[in-house]
Amino acid sequence: MLDDDPFAPPVKKPVSLEAQLENASVEELESRIERLKAEISQCERAIAAKRAQRVAADSVFGAPPS
């Protein structure tokens, strides 16, 4: 069996974060920071919701043994 497909697109090596940051403009970096902040906010909301669900479940079923 041949693993090399002569018609397959070349495999791109992942670019390191350091290289991405080095090559990005100030505007691109600022945009990236805003996207990351938005993602962090989403994660924080998800954590708060999961904690609230846990508190609600514990109030009905009792807290799990520690």
In this prediction the pTM is: 0.68
The predicted-structure confidence for 33-54, as pLDDT tens digits, reads as follows: 999 999 999 999 999 999 999 9
The predicted-structure confidence for 23-36, as pLDDT tens digits, reads as follows: 999 999 999 999 99
Helix (H, G, I), strand (E, B) or coil at 50: helix
d(CA 41, CA 64): 28
The answer to whether residues 32 and 24 touch, using CB atoms and an 8 Å cutoff, is: yes
